[in-house]
């Protein structure tokens, strides 16, 4: 019987040992080349990202090559391409009012003897015996104790500054301020109708005060600035206040010179109002329109 022209494996499922060894050699060669290519790409990328680019940009930043490379590697803070500014800005003071349990207890206690003494000694000359100011000094009549205490506390901490009120508030303790606020709120309770005078205005300003302007995201003034309407407890009543005083506060909020409003509410609202709207609203709430 003649032999076949090529060898036939004894088992069709087996591979000759020589073919296996040859395949392994080919695989090792490809793996070596692939590893070399990847390594070269990483090295080139690192040189470009951490040396070449920083070196080209370091002159604009006024850095040495060493400083630029260290920043690129994250070893030192800063960008290798940007000169790091030195800021001398001072953080803007914000309201630090704290509604501690002992303060809330004093504010809820009503007409305190200590508050009456302090009011007679330091407050009545400007704000009136019962908070009924007749000038551009804000009236305290009809305000909640929380509204009065909030402003006194801000004067004390420096969040709000006034050449007369700041030194007065700073010489008193937080408890004294709370007692004073409780006294005025209780003494002027009979004048709570300060927020009920008949207001006359043009339709646009009245709508702005009562309904706001949803297009500009301006809430209604009276949604907060009336006692018992559900706004923040420290919100003051503004109906009946002196128009010049109200206008000065709206303008101060608008330009940022007054910044003791919690969460920047009034700064945001006032900045959205036009100067004419601020003036008309001040007159509206004084009750002179």
Confidence band of 171 (pLDDT split at 50, 70, 90):
very high
Average pLDDT over residues 122-136: 87
- Report the alpha-carbon distance of residue 16 to residue 84 in Å, rounded: 68
pLDDT beyond 70 at 15 = no
pLDDT beyond 80 at 159 = yes
> Tell me: the pLDDT tens digits for 180-198?
999 999 888 777 545 545 5
> Tell me: the pLDDT tens digits for 111-122?
789 999 999 999
**Percentage of the chain surpassing pLDDT 90?**
49
Q: Please say whether the beta carbons of 266 and 253 come within 8 A.
A: yes
pLDDT beyond 70 at 147 = yes
What average pLDDT does the structure give for the chain? 82
pLDDT of residue 136: 83
> Tell me: the pLDDT tens digits for 207-238?
999 999 999 999 999 999 988 888 899 999 99
Query: Among 128-132, 168-172, 191-195, 202-206, which stretch is predicted with the lowest mean pLDDT?
Result: 191-195
pLDDT beyond 60 at 240 = yes
Sign of the Cα pseudo-torsion (69, 72, 76, 79, in order)? positive
pLDDT of residue 269: 97
**Percentage of the chain surpassing pLDDT 70?**
71
pLDDT beyond 80 at 143 = yes
278 closest CA partner among 208, 202, 197: 208
Collapsing DSSP states into helix, strand and coil, what is residue 118? helix
Confidence band of 274 (pLDDT split at 50, 70, 90):
very high
State the pTM of this model.
0.67
pLDDT of residue 36: 82
Residue 231, Cβ density class (10 Å: 0-12 exposed, 13-18 middle, ≥19 buried): middle
> Tell me: the pLDDT tens digits for 62-95?
666 677 667 666 667 766 555 556 666 666 678 9
| Cα-based distances in Å from 87 to 76, 78, 287 | 19, 15, 46
Confidence band of 133 (pLDDT split at 50, 70, 90):
confident
pLDDT of residue 35: 80
pLDDT of residue 149: 97
236 closest CA partner among 107, 143, 135: 143
Exposure on the CB side of residue 186, measured as CA atoms within 13 A: 17
Highest mean pLDDT among 42-51, 112-121, 269-278 belongs to 269-278
Count CB neighbours of 148 within 10 A: 27
Sign of the Cα pseudo-torsion (163, 165, 166, 170, in order)? positive
pLDDT of residue 41: 80
pLDDT of residue 284: 92
- Report the alpha-carbon distance of residue 154 to residue 236 in Å, rounded: 14
């Amino acid at each position: 019987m003649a032999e076949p022209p090529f060898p036939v494996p004894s088992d069709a499922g087996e591979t000759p040992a020589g073919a296996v060894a040859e395949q392994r050699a080919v695989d090792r060669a490809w793996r070596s080349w692939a590893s070399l290519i990847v390594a070269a790409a990483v090295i080139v990328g690192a040189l470009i990202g951490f040396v070449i680019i920083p070196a080209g940009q370091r002159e604009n930043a006024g850095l040495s090559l060493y400083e630029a490379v260290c920043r690129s590697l994250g070893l030192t803070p800063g960008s290798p391409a940007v000169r790091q500014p030195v800021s001398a800005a001072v953080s803007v003071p914000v309201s630090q009012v704290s509604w501690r349990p002992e303060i809330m207890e004093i504010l809820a206690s009503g007409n305190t003897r200590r508050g009456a003494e302090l009011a007679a000694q330091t407050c009545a000359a400007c704000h009136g015996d019962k908070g009924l100011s007749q000038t551009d000094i804000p009236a305290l009549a009809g305000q909640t104790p929380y509204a009065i205490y909030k402003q006194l506390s801000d004067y004390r901490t420096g969040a709000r500054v006034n050449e007369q009120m700041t030194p007065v508030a700073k010489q008193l303790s937080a408890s004294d301020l709370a007692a004073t606020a409780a006294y005025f709120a209780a003494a002027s309770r009979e004048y709570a109708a300060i927020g009920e005078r008949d207001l006359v205005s043009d339709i646009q300003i009245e709508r702005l005060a009562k309904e706001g302007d949803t297009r500009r995201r301006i809430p209604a003034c009276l949604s907060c600035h009336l006692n018992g309407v559900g706004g923040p407890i420290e919100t003051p009543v503004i109906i009946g206040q002196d128009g010049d005083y109200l206008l000065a506060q709206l303008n101060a909020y608008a330009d940022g010179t007054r910044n003791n409003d919690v969460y920047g509410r009034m700064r945001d609202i006032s900045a959205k109002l036009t100067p004419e709207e601020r003036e008309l609203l001040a007159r509206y709430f004084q009750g002179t329109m």
